[in-house]
Chains A and B, each alone.
Chain A
Amino acid sequence: MKGLGVLLQKEWRENARNFKLYWIPIVFIIFGIIEPITNHYLPEIMKSVGNLPEGAEFTWPQFRGEDIFISLMGQYQLIGILIIILAFMGSISSERKSGTATLLYVRPMSFGSYFLSKWIVINGIVLGSVWLGFFAAWYYVNILFNPVAAGDVFAFLVTYSLWIIFAVTVVLSFSAWMSTGGTVGLSIVVLLVLQIIDSVIGAFWTVSPWKVTMYASMMFSSVSNQSGFWMSIGLTILLTIGLVIFGINMAKRNAAKTTV
């Protein structure tokens, strides 16, 4: 692990200078605040802009605070994942293309620490943003809905974080493997399309990384599927480690492709 400390500093500074350190948390926090507010004021919003006919009566579902966390997770599953893919699509591939990689690869560093420095910093930024978003939502849920138990929230967040780490690893290792365009395409297939497929026909199996989010939302209810939960967690961790090793090897193999 030669030069991991230096590379971590380089990653940190780079993400501060291209503002990813700031805009990604802000966007996640904004979504975290909007979700409870719109759900709470939905009846009034519909009354004033919904063009409902005179005298129309609707019974709105009575949301509990726990439901808001799950619906916010649904937002992050689409918009959040898209932001992760688009913001970090070029982490390694565009460094190869712009020539930054040439300056790095001539130095005595291992590709392990090169890949891990990116992995650690990107995970730090994304996990920090997701947690800040959920904390903002939690604050608003306590004001507008019912208080939610801290134990449930943390169990939910820890489980959900595992899925986020998996998503970041997918994007980063694909970026080591392919061009920027290929990274975007394949990441969208793996993280968004497979997620939809898993939710449509996923009733036939209980163990898959795409089920981790479903198990995370179960933290708020008493229903639980212990064996499927732990098997999915284990499988996701194994796949993440496998993708990290794959990414390191691909970064090494594609080192010759840099523009000089």
Chain B
Amino acid sequence: MAELANIPWNLILPILVLQLILMAVALIDVIRRQKTNGPFIMWIFIILLGSLLGSILYFIFGRRQD
């Protein structure tokens, strides 16, 4: 537990919050439309497990343009 307290949380926290916002927006979008490039369940896993890169990939390649 001592190591956990040593982590500078006040510095790391903004990154975690921003990443969480990004992930939440991507998830809400994928669930609301369900029409994606490729299987929609696959994109949920990519967003959840891919952290920053997963959400970026969804926004660039996952959303169908029409």
Q: Tell me if B60 is interfacial: C-beta within 8 Å of chain A.
A: yes
The interface size of chain A toward B, counting residues with CB under 8 Å, comes to 22
Question: Which of A30, A87, A140 meets B60, CB within 8 Å?
Answer: A87
Once A18-B63, A26-B21, A94-B65 are accepted as A-B contacts, the answer to whether A33 and B56 lie under 8 Å apart by CB is no
Report how far A233 CA is from B34 CA in the complex, Å.
46
Chain A residues lying within 8 Å of B18, measured Cβ to Cβ, are 26, 29-30, 33
What residues of chain A lie closer than 8 Å to B14, measured between beta carbons?
33, 136
From A19, A29, A90, A144, B25 is in contact (CB under 8 Å) with A19
Within 8 Å CB of B22, what residues of A? 23, 26-27, 30
Nearest-Cβ distance from residue A183 to partner chain B, whole angstroms: 14
B36 within 8 A of A: no
Cβ A19 vs Cβ B59 within 8 A: yes
What is the bound-complex CA distance between A130 and B45, given in angstroms? 29
Contact between chains at A22 and B65 (CB < 8 Å) = no
Main secondary structure of the interface of A (DSSP, over half): helix
* B25 contacts across to A, CB distance below 8 A: 19, 22-23
Q: Is A83 an interface residue (CB 8 A)?
A: yes
Task: Enumerate A119-154 residues with CB–CB distance to B below 8 Å.
Answer: 136, 140, 143-144
8 A Cβ contacts from A12-39 to B: 18-20, 22-23, 26-27, 29-30, 33-34, 37
Known contacts A90-B65, A94-B65, A98-B65; A27/B15 CB under 8 A: no
Point out the residues of chain B lying under 8 angstroms from A37, CB to CB.
Answer: 11-12, 15
- Residues on B lying within 8 angstroms of A by beta carbon are 11-12, 14-15, 18-19, 21-22, 25-26, 29, 52, 55-56, 59-60, 63, 65-66
- Of the A-B pairs whose beta carbons lie under 8 Å apart in the complex, a sample of 13, sorted by A's number, is A19-B29, A19-B59, A20-B59, A23-B22, A23-B26, A23-B59, A26-B18, A29-B18, A30-B15, A30-B52, A33-B18, A83-B56, A143-B11
